[in-house]
Amino acid sequence: MIVIETVHIDQMWLVFLIPMLPLLAFLVAVFLKNKDFAALFSTVVSAAVFFVAVEVIISHYGSALYYSMPWFTVGKFTYNVGILLDKLSLVMIGVVSLIALLVNVFSLEYMKHDEAKGRYFSFLGLFAFSMYGIVLSSNLFLTFVFWELVGFSSYLLIGFWFQNEEPPKASFKAFIVNRVGDAGFLIGLFVVFVFFHSFELPYLWNEFSEFGKPDASIGISKGWLMVMGLGLFLGAMGKSAQFPLQTWLPDAMAGPTPVSALIHAATMVAAGVFMLVRVFPLLSIPVLDVIAIIGALTAFMGAFAAFSQNDIKKVLAFSTVSQLGYMVMSIGVGSPDAAFFHLVTHAFFKASLFLCAGSVIHYLHHENDPQNMYKMGGLRKYIPFTFIAYTISMLALCGLPFFSGYFSKEAILSGVLEWITYSSMGGIGWKVLVPLFAFISVFMTAAYMGRQYFLVFFGKPKWTARKQKESWYVAIPILLLASLSFWFVYSLSPFHADTFLLEILRYKGSVGSEHLINPVILGMVSSSLAILGLFVSYLLFYKKKAQHFLNKIHELLGGLSASNWYLDGVHSILIVQPVMKLRMYVSHFDRKYVDGLVNGIGVLNVVVSQILGWFDKYMVDGVIKLITVISGNLGNVARSFQNGRIQMYFVWAVLGIVLVLIVLF
């Protein structure tokens, strides 16, 4: 257990620079109209942030520092702004700042000719600011603030090419789906607020001396604890694209590719996982079970959907969904450390893969359909650096030995197996699905990645060749990122992860810590699954074997896969359409009934239009109408005594008198 040390601002000022510098870059880019300068400045800032981050990591690694100051006070409750600098956030900062820097460099080339380059780099700055905010924030409220801001900057970046049809829709969808998640996050926060009266993470951890079980003095019931956990998880589901909220992520590929690399592969989507790791002690067992099954399901669904995508980026997007599912599942099974480890390794190789895809697209951007894999082929000769980086990253993703993915996947799988062993003592139930999905996904990951690999880089070019070399701005970032997927970065032994990354958490997994399964055997099993996957794809897509079989499968499941399990349709039927209908009903109701309370009376009344003519003949309206109709009619009644015949007046008057006399008795 590492003691959290409350420190003074003087010790932390450097840390403040990390979010503030990108914000500065954002402001500079907004207010200076020189877009080239903005791009340059942004890159310089990214570099500076990276170096600051390195400096911070070096100077603070190993300790846990906490700084907090009041933001605003309502009643007696103070909302704080604070920084929590422990190993987790330090590593995360390192990862984010590095990838951000590399993506920035990559973007210099990628976005070179874009008119709105300044805007692009300013958004990147905004995003970085928000992301660092999430990472560094010491309390859940502040986390939520940046959480939403990340969503916002993601909205901006996805919709960057707003003149086109797709990006605005995709960004709209991304934000709304994220909002649904955020709604859950908010509810979780409310429960935290009501029962713990604090959002501070160190405080909250203290209240949970045992994982998932708060101290009795809190007085929170199991039900509310679960609501809290599920709420927070719903937030993570939105950001980390977990079932059933994963639909936005593939669409988000409408944004510029470097953005996909940074945001939709490495950082933002990982924020959900990061947050779950942060609040892991607060999650009770039922919540974790839900998390595990959702994660496993997502991992499987994503992998399945990745199969029949033709768009190079969509494959990677679904792959991301799948891998995020992995991480979430890992948290659910009680191995947050493994999840975080996978987050880091995945961040590097997936960013690299996206940048490779970006490089491919950039290379082919004069083509008609530059993202369609079936129109590529043979690219290995034309963009060799990309090919190399892609190969490395892909192998890492597949989880083959000598690459980082092997470690992290192995850690997760072992966690899953431990969990299933531990929790299936009372008989095996649905929980068995979790390891099942986990292992199938290993195979599938390798298979769809192989498909992409062979379709893109092998075979005959289906595009018109041109002389164009990879720019160093492209090559260096992808190679650097790819190189971070080698085993030696993490561990000396290529087969056994003995890395500090698995030690960074203050807490270990909640489930037993001894290895029930020999890591070597597990590694062999998973590697063979991956190799099998690669082999199958080699046969199918390189050797073009068993095409008949492939077509059959495609016929059978292609639709399901290509449409991501028809999730969009399901959402549309279950949510979008009802809401759209509801709004029409309610609006109709508003117009007709609330506003036109009296329409019914009005229709019955032949003289309605004549009566209403006084103000406006054609008003279709409301309570006013009620009053006008009623009072108008009554008015006519009142006037009808006045028919101008004096003797009728007598009758009315006497009648009035008689009535009063009758009342008198």
**Rounded Cα–Cα distance for residues 136 and 478 (Å):** 27
Assess contact for 246 and 318: CB atoms under 8 A: no
List the one residue from 34, 59, 551, 643 that touches other proteins (CB under 8 A). Answer: 643
Give me the least distance between CB of 29 and other proteins, in Å please.
13
Order the strands of the 77-85 sheet from edge to edge. 4-6, 64-74, 77-85
Give me the least distance between CB of 364 and other proteins, in Å please.
24
Can residue 627 be called a binding residue for other proteins (CB under 8 A)? yes
List the one residue from 369, 587, 600, 604 that touches other proteins (CB under 8 A). Answer: 587
Closer by beta carbon to other proteins, 428 or else 586:
586
Can residue 74 be called a binding residue for other proteins (CB under 8 A)? yes
Give me the least distance between CB of 220 and other proteins, in Å please.
10
List the one residue from 7, 20, 47, 180 that touches other proteins (CB under 8 A). Answer: 180
Burial 90-102 (b: 16+ CB within 10 A, else e): bbbbbbbbbbbbb
Give me the least distance between CB of 616 and other proteins, in Å please.
5
Site string for other proteins, 513-552 (x = CB under 8 A): ----------------------------------------
Phi, psi of 591 (to 5 degrees): -70, -45
List the one residue from 210, 216, 492, 665 that touches other proteins (CB under 8 A). Answer: 665
Closer by beta carbon to other proteins, 156 or else 288:
156
Q: How far is CA 604 from CA 129, 237, 628, 629, in A?
A: 63, 54, 15, 11
Closer by beta carbon to other proteins, 511 or else 624:
624
List the one residue from 375, 495, 595, 601 that touches other proteins (CB under 8 A). Answer: 595
Side-chain-side CA neighbours of residue 608 (13 Å): 19
What residue type is 75 in one-letter code?
A: G
Mark the segment that binds other proteins (CB under 8 A) among 6-14, 319-327, 519-527, 620-628.
Answer: 620-628
Strand-pairing partners, residue 72, are 79
Can residue 165 be called a binding residue for other proteins (CB under 8 A)? yes
List the one residue from 1, 216, 521, 660 that touches other proteins (CB under 8 A). Answer: 660
Can residue 71 be called a binding residue for other proteins (CB under 8 A)? yes
CB within 8 Å of 408: residues ≥ 6 apart? 338, 341, 342, 344, 345, 346, 399, 497
Assess contact for 483 and 349: CB atoms under 8 A: no
Can residue 22 be called a binding residue for other proteins (CB under 8 A)? no
Mark the segment that binds other proteins (CB under 8 A) among 5-13, 314-322, 357-365, 638-646.
Answer: 638-646
State in Å, rounded, how far the first CA of the chain is from the last one: 92
Can residue 34 be called a binding residue for other proteins (CB under 8 A)? no
Assess contact for 289 and 272: CB atoms under 8 A: no
List the one residue from 14, 32, 194, 573 that touches other proteins (CB under 8 A). Answer: 194
Can residue 222 be called a binding residue for other proteins (CB under 8 A)? no
Assess contact for 533 and 450: CB atoms under 8 A: yes
Place of tokens 């079932």: 243
List the one residue from 520, 574, 582, 604 that touches other proteins (CB under 8 A). Answer: 582
Site for other proteins in 106-145 (CB under 8 A): 144-145
User: Which string of DSSP letters, residue by residue, matches 335-396?
Assistant: -HHHHHHHHHHHHHHHHHHHHHHHHHHHHTTTSSSTTBGGG---GGGTSHHHHHHHHHHHHH
List the one residue from 432, 520, 573, 579 that touches other proteins (CB under 8 A). Answer: 579
Mark the segment that binds other proteins (CB under 8 A) among 83-91, 172-180, 268-276, 451-459.
Answer: 172-180
